[in-house]
Amino acid sequence: MRITGERIVTPEGGFNASWQRHAACYSLTESFLGEGPVLDLGCGSGHARVHLAPRRSVGVDLDHDSLACQDRETLVADIRRIPLADASFDSVLCVHAIEHVPDPEQVLQESVRVLRQGGTAIFVTPNRLTFGRPDEIIDPYHYIEYDAAQLAELCGRFFAEVTPYGVFGSKRYMDFHHAERRQLDALLRLDPLGLRRLIPRKPRQFLYDWALTRARQNKGGPAVQFELDDFHLGADDLENSLDVLVVCR
């Protein structure tokens, strides 16, 4: 599969940091999920689906190639229009996907529709306060970015009970994270007038993929050391979390 900023496709070299962080978001949801079937929205390559076992899970994504090699039921579909029956899942999980749609309310509405009475939905998204720039969406695959309060408020329009958490990194991961932030700041200083904002989305995505691949091509760097244990869940200091994780019932 082509390396892209849109989906996690490889654990190789510098990409291992994103691979492990994404997998950790799945692993950290385990205690909140019901025992029945899980709908995995925007699942991409499904590399973290093992953390949903032994539950039956169904992966949904727009990209056919991402679903092709998964050993579970999958569905090529838009997560805003899910062609599945009402009240057919105990849990809905959406990891790093809701920020990829311009109308996230449709994702939440569909999640409510397919959930059984008393079901649980979990949404995980990068914290806008620590991802890229808090005042600008740098990632051209993202339409909307959230902090904990914003995502909780959005989910509260559709669910009776909403509890926000944060995904935090170990010291060695945070050292890596801050180094990447400094590299981003240095790159953005080359464009003090913000002319990047005038570039159409598709060319920006191409440039983003090129820059991301160059930045993470070091196969022997610190990123290869990261594991699931480098991430943990917390309920405090959410402004400084890496990701926001909201549990909705």
pLDDT tens figures, 167-184: 999 999 999 999 999 989
Output phi, psi for 247, to 5 deg: -100, 125
**Domain presence at residue 3:** no
**Domain presence at residue 8:** no
- What does the alpha-carbon distance between residue 60 and residue 39 come to, in Å, rounded to a whole number? 8
As a whole number, mean pLDDT of residues 186-207 equals 94
**Domain presence at residue 1:** no
pLDDT of residue 3: 72
**Domain presence at residue 37:** yes
pLDDT of residue 14: 84
Examine the pLDDT at 219 and tell me if it is beyond 70. no
Residue range of the domain that includes 79: 13-248
Q: How confident is the model at residue 89 (pLDDT cuts 50, 70, 90)?
A: very high
Question: Domains in the chain: how many in total?
Answer: 1
Higher pLDDT, 151 or 68: 151
**Domain presence at residue 181:** yes
pLDDT of residue 143: 97
Examine the pLDDT at 21 and tell me if it is beyond 70. yes
**Domain presence at residue 113:** yes
pLDDT of residue 145: 98
H-run or E-run covering 11: none
Examine the pLDDT at 11 and tell me if it is beyond 90. no
Which of 90, 86, 55, 87 lies closest to 73 in space, CA to CA? Answer: 55
- What does the alpha-carbon distance between residue 161 and residue 158 come to, in Å, rounded to a whole number? 9
**Domain presence at residue 5:** no
Task: Find the CATH number of the domain harbouring 182.
Answer: 3.40.50.150
- Whole-model pTM: value is 0.95
